[in-house]
Structure 1
Amino acid sequence: MAPTKSQVRAGILAVRRSLSQQTREHETALLGGHLEASVEPGTTVCAYVPVGSEPGSLVLIDRLAARGVTVLLPVAREDGLGTPLPLQWGRHVPGELVDAPFGLREPRPPWLPADTVATAAVVFVPALAVDRQGARLGRGAGYYDRTLPRAAGGALLVAVVRDDELVDRLPSEAHDVRMTHALTPGRGLVPLG
């Protein structure tokens, strides 16, 4: 019997928590080189500020902005019933992030509507794992599944994962939005699907 999404999530989070600081820093440095090679100055990208054991760092996002890349960061909110809404976006200004719900960091208002994701050539998406067909395993709230259908047709949808989190097959559902690429420390930008 195949493991459930919850079981896969728990296993990946346990491995991420066990990584040494040295390993995290090494992987972040490798990701930085791949990011700079895959995004041209003048490009608009949607990114995210890593939380906890997620691959990447705020420094990488700041470096993209310093190279003339317009970086949009997500603003996650729920409606009055606690249902996740499509992500809004805020332009990243280094040094000006504020604390946000769910332990996140986000740009100050004013925020841009969810449809702003359509202006991005690349959308970097947090993931616990992604498979070779593009199925992404997130944390399960559904913010990105509500947002990514609004992305431009030719945009790269890039799951940022550790090397061993690019796997052969993940459980997926019809509403899961497929990634076009994975970005890993050791392999760089990997086409999927």
Structure 2
Amino acid sequence: MNPSDKNDIRREAIARRQALDDGSQRSEAIQHRLLTEFPIREGSNWLVYVSVRNEVKTMGILEEVLRVKGQVVVPYCLSNNELGLFLLTDLQQLEHGSFGIKEPLAALRSERSVPSETLDTVVMPGVAFDRRGNRIGYGKGYFDRLLKTLSGDCIKVGLAYDCQIYPKIPSEAHDLPVDHLITETQMIRCSAKV
């Protein structure tokens, strides 16, 4: 696989996303579709990314998981290009951190760390996806490393606008796809996992 293929798709998908003038309305439709397709169950353990810039917005999802469960796991960037996982119980526990992304308060991180194997639903971003669940991120590999540590029955859901879905994303044997994609118009089942 030619690495420039991924870079070309990444650049084009980011440009497509930036060109949307109604991203907030599209995000609302995506959030509603996610919560309809995947109702929050008692005892479930959700990780939801905290959106930044023109990614699909997730504040409504975070608020709903907090309302139903009283807690939600959010990722944050560690210095070794891995994600730390934090048990959030209040949106006031977020502050601006790496890459302008809201992250958990540094003072609380060590006491609220969550092991990745305990997650059963992971809601993640991506720059581009295909219908088989292959994804391209920003190129740092944060979520790629996290995916390798999840339990086998964890449901992985990618959020994207329709304009971010490509016919084929270059992938390699070690790449792990998402199980489902939610866009403003559809839910795509990439695997048999429900």
TM-score band by shorter chain is 0.7 to 0.9
Output the TM-score relative to the length of structure 2: 0.85
Q: Give the whole-Å Cα distance in 2 for the aligned partners of 1:122 and 1:70.
A: 13
Question: 1:136: which partner in 2?
Answer: 135
Q: How does 1:70-149 map to 2 (within 5 A)?
A: 70-79=71-80, 84-85=81-82, 87-92=83-88, 93-108=90-105, 109-111=108-110, 112-113=112-113, 116-149=115-148
Change beyond 3 A, Cα 1:35–1:64: farther
Q: Supply the AA of the counterpart residue of 1:29.
A: E
In structure 2, the residue matched to 1:156 is 155
Per-residue deviation at 1:130? 1.3
Tell me how far 1:113 sits from its aligned partner: 4.9
Rounded Cα–Cα distance in structure 2 between residues aligned with 1:33 and 1:26: 11
Letter of the structure 2 residue corresponding to residue 10 of structure 1 = R
Measured on the aligned residues, the alpha-carbon RMSD in Å equals: 2.1
**Aligned: 1:36 with 2:56:** no
The structural deviation recorded for 1:69 is 6.1
TM-score (norm 1): 0.86
Is contact 1:46-1:117 (8 Å) kept? Answer: no
Equivalent position SS for 2:140? coil
Q: Deviations over 1:113-153 (max 9, x none)?
A: 57x22212111111012112221111110111111111111
1:163 is displaced (CA, Å) by 1.7
Secondary structure at the aligned position of 2:116 is classed as helix
Runs of at least 5 residues in structure 2 that lack an aligned partner in the other structure: none
Aligned match of 1:181: 180
Equivalents in 2 of 1:183, 1:157: separation in Å? 11
Give the letter aligned to residue 99 of structure 2.
F
**Structure 1 counterpart SS, 2:92:** coil
Native 8 Å contact 2:17 2:164 kept in 1? no
Q: 1:8-52: CA deviations, max 9, x gaps?
A: 1111111111111xx212112212212322132422111111111
| C-alpha distance in structure 2 between counterparts of 1:139 and 1:173, whole Å | 17
Partners of 2:176 and 2:72 lie apart in 1 by: 22
Give the letter aligned to residue 89 of structure 1. L
**Structure 1 runs, 4 residues or longer, greater than 3 Å off:** 111-114
Partners of 1:13 and 1:76 in 2: CA distance: 21
Gaps (5+ residues) in structure 1? none
**Is the 1:163–1:186 Cα contact (8 Å) retained in structure 2?**
yes
2:16 and 2:164 in contact (8 A); partners too = no
